[in-house]
Amino acid sequence: HGKKADFPSIPAAAAFNELAADIGEWVKIRIDEEKHTIEVKAHKIIEEKAKLRATQIALNKLNESQQWIEAQQKQAKLRSQRSQQFKVNLIYFARWITSGWSGWLFYLTSFSIFVFLGFGFGVNYPSVIACSSIKSYCYLLRLDKTTLVIPPKPQQQTRQKN
């Protein structure tokens, strides 16, 4: 019996089993911790992606609003330029109208147009004004020929009464 046994004794085997169980439990705890760490990291990554997406959407909206503002500013600038150009053109036109023959021609043309329109409206608009005869300008220039014509006064009756 002087030989040593190659197998450990039973208390040593129990200690090894207990050590193996402890190592297994430690590995299991460690795996659970790693799973939890991975889940936390995955959750953080998802949150970061969501924040990044929200930031991208906000940047897009900001860019769109900046583009809108820039477009509005460009439109306002163009309106201002058109207004200024209109004022300059109006001043040039007024200077041309008031200078030399063009001023007189403009004045006479305007006067003629307003006199003609005034006469035309004056003859046609009041329907209660009667014309003196069918051959009068009052009757000839009327658009509505059904208006009254005053018959000529019988001069014989006025002479007989005198």
Q: What would the pLDDT profile of 138-159 be if each residue is shown by its tens digit?
A: 777 777 777 666 666 666 555 5
Query: Dihedral of the CA atoms 55, 58, 62, 67 (nearest 10)?
Result: 100
Query: Dihedral of the CA atoms 120, 125, 127, 133 (nearest 10)?
Result: 0
Task: List the structure tokens of 46.
Answer: 């998802």
Q: What is the pLDDT of residue 138?
A: 75
pLDDT(79) > 80? yes
Minimum mean pLDDT range among 30-39, 62-71, 91-100, 141-150: 141-150
For residue 147, the one-letter residue type is: T
pLDDT(82) > 90? yes
pLDDT(126) > 90? no
Mean pLDDT across 48-71:
90
For residue 21, the one-letter residue type is: A
Q: How many CB atoms lie within 10 A of CB 122?
A: 12
Q: What is the pLDDT of residue 6?
A: 57
**Between 10-97 and 100-124, two packed helices, what is the crossing angle to 10 degrees?**
90
Mean of the per-residue pLDDT values for the chain? 81
Q: Which residue has the higher pLDDT, 64 or 82?
A: 82
Task: List the structure tokens of 115.
Answer: 């006199």
Contact 132, 148 (CB under 8 A): no
Minimum mean pLDDT range among 4-18, 85-99, 121-135: 4-18
pLDDT(123) > 60? yes
